[in-house]
Amino acid sequence: MKMPTIIADYQCHNAEVPIWHSMEQCLYWADIPTGRMFRYYPTTDSHEQIYQGEPIGGITIQTDGALLLFMNKGAIMLRIATASATWQAGQLIEIANIPAETDSRFNDCIADPCGRVFTGTISTSNHPGSLYRLDTDGTITKVLTGLEIPNGMGFTPDRKQMYFTDSPQRKIYIFDYDQTTGNLSNQRVFITTPENEGVPDGMTVDAEGCIWSARWDGGHLFRYTPDGKEVLRIPFPAKKVSCVTFGGADYTDMYVTTAGGDKREVEGSGEGSGAGAVFRLNIGIQGVPEFMSKVQV
Residues that are catalytic: 201
The 3 state secondary structure assigned to 134-169 is ECCCCCEEEEEEEECCEEEEEECCCCCEEEEEEHHH
32-40's contacts with Cβ under 8 Å and 24+ in sequence apart are 32/56, 32/57, 36/10, 36/12, 38/8, 38/10, 38/278, 40/7, 40/8, 40/255, 40/278
Q: Residue type for 228, please?
A: G
Contacts of 103 (CB under 8 A, 6+ apart): 73, 124, 126
CA–CA gap between residue 220 and residue 214 (Å, rounded): 7
What pairs with residue 19 in β-bridges?
A: 28
Cβ-contact 40, 47 below 8 angstroms: yes
- Give me the half-sphere count of Cα atoms (radius 13 Å) on the Cβ side of residue 131: 24
